[in-house]
Amino acid sequence: MPEASKARAVGFNHVALEVGDIEEALAFYGRLFEFKLRGKSKTSAFIDLGDQFLALQKGRTQPPDGGRHFGLVVDDKDAVRRALAAAGIKPLPGPFLDFLDPWGNRIEIVGYDNIQFTKAPHILRGMGLAHLAKNAKAIKELSEKGMAPS
């Protein structure tokens, strides 16, 4: 009997982070990033990322993250670097722009121009980011997969 076909992973709808307090988390992330709040309750908040979102959930239960992290794509990596410095947050050692939030969530900041991750033009337009473009390295990665922007 042939094996049943497997579902294909397409992407991420959201990432959920455990934080100690929703209001404190919104204030913390609001010092670093411009964002639109999708919704909020006493135990959760949802930050829009175009067609995706970041979920903040009250109740951190594990110790700070070491290697476990997620890459947050931004339009201006240097602006995040400046915001971290202004907030007194030191990036973690290493070749990337990683930091820990007050609850131990490790976040790597990634510039949109330098990676193969791509938002559809209509999503970028809706986010007010239609001006974003990819650099040659990212275009090469996308081209090798038949996914280069036209």
- Per-residue pLDDT band for 45 (boundaries 50, 70, 90) equals very high
Instruction: Write down the pTM of the prediction.
Output: 0.89
Supply the pLDDT for residue 148. Answer: 83
User: What is the sign, positive or negative, of the torsion defined by CA atoms of 17, 19, 24, 28?
Assistant: negative
User: What is the sign, positive or negative, of the torsion defined by CA atoms of 126, 127, 131, 132?
Assistant: negative
- Percent of the chain clearing pLDDT 90 (strictly above): 87
Question: What is the number of other CB atoms lying within 10 angstroms of the CB of residue 32?
Answer: 21
Q: Given its phi and psi angles, is residue 101 left (phi above 0), alpha (psi -120 to 50 degrees) or beta? A: beta
SS3 (DSSP) at 124: helix
C-alpha–C-alpha distance, residues 97 and 107, integer Å: 8
In this predicted model, what pLDDT tens digit does every residue of 71-117 receive, in sequence order? 999 999 999 999 999 999 999 999 999 999 999 999 999 999 999 99
Find out whether 45 and 36 touch, Cβ atoms under 8 Å: no
Find out whether 119 and 50 touch, Cβ atoms under 8 Å: yes
As a whole number, the mean pLDDT across the chain is: 93
Find out whether 65 and 103 touch, Cβ atoms under 8 Å: no
The dihedrals phi and psi of 108, each to the nearest 5 degrees, come to: -105, 130
Architecture of domain 14-59+68-113: Roll (3.10)
The domain segmentation of the chain, as residue ranges, is: 14-59+68-113
